[in-house]
Each structure stands twice: as structure tokens, then as C-alpha cells.
């Protein structure tokens, strides 16, 4: 399909996809890391890589940062200036209350009030950092949880979480939104304090009117109907945004749409339907949270962005009137086929033409490969690495 509808393209034009700083660095599994010569080491490298993805896609003007991993010595000002120098902005601020040794038994729900205080202070510092870099999104993920039955008083911990989130929410400027992320397990293996979307929704309600839920697509137990969760949260006014990735088993952090593109299509359709019902955009944060251990990082990010665009375009192609009609008639086959028809439509030529009309390369991945960026980055970064990961650029 070469001619995509103008309204569809206008919606795609408003689809900004935020890239994660940590997705450009060397990452691995608990069994180790395979280093890549071209993987980013510094904040500047990560911004350069994000700028390269933005150069070829035109869709990624923001970089999400993790406070402990990314904030330079010069603080907020240095952070914003480094982003602006590359035509980017700092996106969501991700506090880190999960790595320090003191957090072995939790952060804001720790038994020790002094540790709880330090964790909350870090969150408050992150609010200030966000305000200083003009980021209006505070993304909260907690590793807090327990490994064994009996280890913690889950309700006491719930109350601690509630009061911490409320305190942080109250310190946010009016323009800032708090996104509360959930995850059923890992690193805790018996219970996690914010285990699912329902708990995240309850915590967001307790925190205040600027708190919403963040749906990381990999953070569900097997079989969860994620599009139902998305539709439900949107209707409650509690859907804040996404961490996109794909999975086969659990939180695998694979490239979006690589395992089950029909699932991501259905999730995006839930957004399209909610926006149609509302008569306008939901104002969501579309963020990527992936860990590319085997693929070259920038190529995987470009694949992600183009896949999300393709699947969003397909979701926008669903004939919602015909779908409503089939539902009214209780014609299950016709209803399902409205989804299958749209999903089966090949939108790649249409998107290439759309990109070219906007002065972008029709094929972002080829443009990146032809530009020689990866070879230059490998050359520059190889010498700064402890050991080379081999031939991958």
C-alpha cells in the first residue's frame, strides 16, 4: 500500500519514540557481557548514538536517562547542553534506588528508616534534576520485594510505598508526571512491592493527580492480555506510557515486535481505539526499554522505531466503524477480520514515501549503514574499552 491516509500519517508524525540511554551501552545477562566495539561508554556516546537514530528516523528527539549512570559532573546544565548540542532533549528521568548495597533489603520500603529516607531523597533530587533539564516525566521502577515467604510485612511495605510516592508527587512541579512501573518478579523472586498494573494503578491514585501507570510490555506473567490492561488503564485516565520491548518467556528485553508483532499491533490498536473514543491523542510517553546483547545497538533501535511505526500504521488502518458494526451484529469472524486485514496490509512502501516526503531516508537502516557511523564509533571507542567484544561494529 503506497498511499496511506493523510490522517494516519498526521498521527504517525506526532509519534515520538524516546530512546533509553542504557540501550546503547554494553549490557549482558547475569551470565556475563559480550562487549561491542561500537557500544557507548559515556553520556556523550549515548547522545551521539541517539542523535544518529534520530537523524535517520526523525522520530526520536529525546533520550531517557538513568540518574546514577548518566548525569555528568556538571549536573543538569551539562546534561541539557550535551543533549541540545546534538539537537536532542533529555526525556524521562529514571532514578536509581536499586543498585547501591544499602538497598539489598529494599529502598523506599526498607525496614530501616534511614535507608528509606536516603531513597526518597534520591527521588526528590531526581525531581529537581528533571525540572532543571525541563523534563516533565519521572519514571519510577523499584526493585523492592522479598525472596521468601514471611520475609516482609507486605501491607506495612505497601504503606511505606504509598507515603514515599505521595511525598515525591507533592514535590513535583505541576507540569511533571510520575509514571509508576510494575513488574511481577526479578530481582525479587517471591513478591514484588508493585507487582502488577492494578497495584501500580492503586499506587498512582494514592500518589496524586499527576501520577499514571507505566506499562513495560515485558513486565507481565505469561498469558496476560496486555491490550486489555492498556484499554482499561486508558479508560481510567491512568495510562501514562510504555516501555516497549518484546519477550518470549519473561522480561527478555528483545526488540519490539521481533517475537510477536501481532501482540504489539493489538496493544497499539487499544491506544488507537481509546484515542478515537476520546477524540484526541492520549498524551502518552512512548519509550523503548530494550537490551541488545547480540545485535548492534543502533541497528536494533532503528529496527524498533520502524517496527513501532509500521505496527501503529497498521493499527490506524483498522476500520473502526466496520469493527463496531461487526460487534453490534455479534459477528465474531467479521470483527476479527477487521484486525487481520489491517495487520496483513503491507505499509512499508507507504512509510518509505512518507519519510522521503519529510526529507528523511526512505530506508533508515540502510541510510545508517551507508553513513559509516558504526565504523567511526568503533574506531573511537575501541581504545577506551577494557577488552574488545570482537568484530561487531
Binding site for ligand PSV (CB under 6 A): 22, 94, 141, 181, 183, 216, 243, 251, 289
Closest CA to 46 of 79, 75, 77, 4: 79
By the rule CB under 5 A, 216 interacts with Mn ion:
yes
Residue 345 and residue 355: Cα distance in Å, rounded? 18
- Per CB under 5 A, the list member of 243, 297, 314, 338 interacting with Mn ion is 243
Residue 119 and residue 94: Cα distance in Å, rounded? 13
Residue 287 and residue 307: Cα distance in Å, rounded? 13
Q: Work out how close the CB of 103 gets to Mn ion at its nearest, in angstroms, rounded to a whole number.
A: 18
Nearer to ligand PSV, 106 or 350 (CB): 106
Residue sitting closest to ligand PSV (CB) = 141
Q: Work out how close the CB of 181 gets to ligand PSV at its nearest, in angstroms, rounded to a whole number.
A: 5
Q: Work out how close the CB of 144 gets to ligand PSV at its nearest, in angstroms, rounded to a whole number.
A: 12
Residue 345 and residue 244: Cα distance in Å, rounded? 22
Which of these ranges, 53-61, 269-277, 283-291, 343-351, lies near Mn ion under the rule CB under 5 A?
Answer: 283-291
Contacts of 120 (CB under 8 A, 6+ apart): 108, 164, 167, 168
Nearer to Mn ion, 49 or 181 (CB): 181
Residue 188 and residue 85: Cα distance in Å, rounded? 40
Instruction: Label residues 186-219 b or e (16+ Cβ within 10 Å = b).
Output: eebeebbbbbbbebbbbbbebbeebbbbbbbbbb
Which of these ranges, 232-240, 284-292, 305-313, 347-355, lies near Mn ion under the rule CB under 5 A?
Answer: 284-292
Q: Which does 94 bind (CB under 5 to 8 A by kind): Mn ion, ligand PSV, none?
A: ligand PSV
Q: Work out how close the CB of 376 gets to ligand PSV at its nearest, in angstroms, rounded to a whole number.
A: 27
Count of residues in the chain: 393
Q: Work out how close the CB of 335 gets to ligand PSV at its nearest, in angstroms, rounded to a whole number.
A: 34
Q: Work out how close the CB of 99 gets to ligand PSV at its nearest, in angstroms, rounded to a whole number.
A: 9
Residue 255 DSSP symbol = P
- Per CB under 5 A, the list member of 48, 289, 310, 363 interacting with Mn ion is 289
Q: Which does 22 bind (CB under 5 to 8 A by kind): ligand PSV, Mn ion, none?
A: ligand PSV
Residue 263 and residue 323: Cα distance in Å, rounded? 18
Burial of 78 (0-12, 13-18, 19+ CB in 10 A): middle
Judged by the rule CB under 5 A, the positions of this chain that interact with Mn ion are: 216, 243, 289
Amino acid at each position: 500500500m503506497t498511499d496511506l491516509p493523510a490522517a494516519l500519517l498526521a498521527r504517525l508524525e506526532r509519534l515520538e519514540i524516546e530512546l533509553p540511554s542504557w540501550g546503547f551501552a554494553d549490557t549482558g545477562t547475569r551470565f556475563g557481557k559480550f562487549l561491542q566495539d561500537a557500544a557507548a561508554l559515556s553520556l556523550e556516546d549515548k547522545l551521539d548514538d541517539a542523535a544518529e537514530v534520530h537523524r535517520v528516523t526523525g522520530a526520536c528527539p529525546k533520550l531517557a536517562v538513568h540518574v546514577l549512570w548518566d548525569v555528568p559532573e556538571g549536573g543538569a546544565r551539562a546534561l541539557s547542553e550535551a543533549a541540545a548540542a546534538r539537537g536532542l532533549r533529555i526525556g524521562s528521568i529514571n532514578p536509581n534506588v536499586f543498585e547501591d548495597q544499602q538497598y539489598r533489603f529494599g529502598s523506599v520500603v526498607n525496614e530501616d528508616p534511614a535507608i528509606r529516607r536516603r531513597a526518597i531523597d534520591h527521588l526528590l533530587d531526581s525531581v529537581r534534576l528533571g525540572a532543571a533539564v525541563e523534563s516533565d516525566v519521572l519514571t519510577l521502577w523499584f526493585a523492592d520485594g522479598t525472596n521468601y515467604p514471611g520475609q516482609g510485612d507486605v501491607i506495612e511495605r505497601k504503606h511505606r510505598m504509598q507515603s514515599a510516592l505521595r511525598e515525591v508527587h507533592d514535590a513535583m512541579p505541576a507540569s511533571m508526571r510520575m509514571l509508576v512501573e510494575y513488574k511481577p518478579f526479578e530481582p525479587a523472586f517471591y513478591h514484588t512491592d508493585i507487582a502488577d498494573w492494578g497495584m501500580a494503578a492503586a499506587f498512582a491514585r494514592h500518589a496524586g493527580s499527576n501520577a499514571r501507570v507505566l506499562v513495560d510490555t515485558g513486565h507481565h506473567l505469561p498469558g496476560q492480555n496486555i491490550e486489555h490492561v492498556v484499554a482499561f488503564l486508558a479508560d481510567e485516565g491512568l495510562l501514562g506510557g510504555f516501555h516497549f520491548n518484546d519477550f518470549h518467556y519473561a522480561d527478555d528485553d528483545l526488540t519490539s515486535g521481533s517475537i510477536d508483532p501481532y501482540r504489539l499491533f493489538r496493544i497499539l490498536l487499544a491506544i488507537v481505539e481509546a484515542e478515537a473514543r476520546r477524540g484526541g491523542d492520549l498524551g502518552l510517553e512512548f519509550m523503548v526499554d530494550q537490551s541488545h546483547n547480540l545485535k548492534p545497538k543502533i541497528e536494533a533501535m532503528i529496527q524498533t522505531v520502524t517496527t513501532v511505526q509500521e505496527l501503529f500504521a497498521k493499527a490506524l488502518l483498522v476500520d473502526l466503524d466496520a469493527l463496531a458494526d461487526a460487534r453490534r451484529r455479534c459477528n465474531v469472524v467479521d470483527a476479527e477480520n477487521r484486525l487481520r486485514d489491517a495487520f496483513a496490509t503491507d505499509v512499508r512502501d507507504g512509510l518509505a514515501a512518507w519519510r522521503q516526503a519529510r526529507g528523511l531516508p526512505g530506508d533508515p537502516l540502510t541510510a545508517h549503514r551507508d553513513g559509516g557511523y558504526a565504523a567511526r564509533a568503533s574506531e573511537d571507542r575501541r581504545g577506551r574499552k577494557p577488552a574488545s567484544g570482537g568484530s561487531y561494529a
